[in-house]
Amino acid sequence: MKLTPKQQRFVDEYLVDLNATQAAIRAGYSARNADKIGSQLLGKTRVSEAVACEMKAREMRTHITQDRVLQELAKIGFADIRKAVRWGEGIAVRDPESAAVEIANGVALVGSEEIDDATAAAVSEISQTAHGIKIKMHDKRAALVDIGRHLGMFQNKLEATVTTRELPASVDDFV
């Protein structure tokens, strides 16, 4: 069975941001009940199958897969700054204007011909400051948390069991 035009619009809108409530509103459903309607629409087999089909088609078009995203997160999460910089005594520093090499103490970047692709992907910024070169890596902790969530390592909900007992009928029964 085919989707109604309004359901198809919901599917199209849902793919924009994966927000069922906002997709329902943009598709023309009542804003007042959009949270319930969005959830109900995703619960319908036809709608959920259409969403899955469209997501798979987008994956094929863009070549962006869960595996590829996880690989990029792994580059950040497991990056080692020692592969991007060298520090300590006797670092050779090349003056960009004169091409003269000077031995200095401090920190120097690993050359672009030496740095591996995974480490380069983990670097978010390199800049020249008044005090020297600044290198900034992508947020390692955030990448590891995203990987951990993907692997199901973290519980998002706290489950608790509450046991209740009947209260005494009078204060005398309580003592």
Share of the chain above pLDDT 70, in %: 86
Residue 90 has pLDDT above 90, yes or no: no
Instruction: Could you please state the CATH topology (level 3) that the domain comprising 5-64 is classified under.
Output: Arc Repressor Mutant, subunit A (1.10.10)
Listed by start position, the domains of the chain span 5-64, 67-156
Q: Where are the alpha helices (DSSP H) in 19-170?
A: 20-26, 34-43, 45-62, 66-77, 117-122, 140-150
> At 137, is the pLDDT very low, low, confident or very high (cuts 50, 70, 90)?
very high
Q: What is the pTM of this model?
A: 0.59
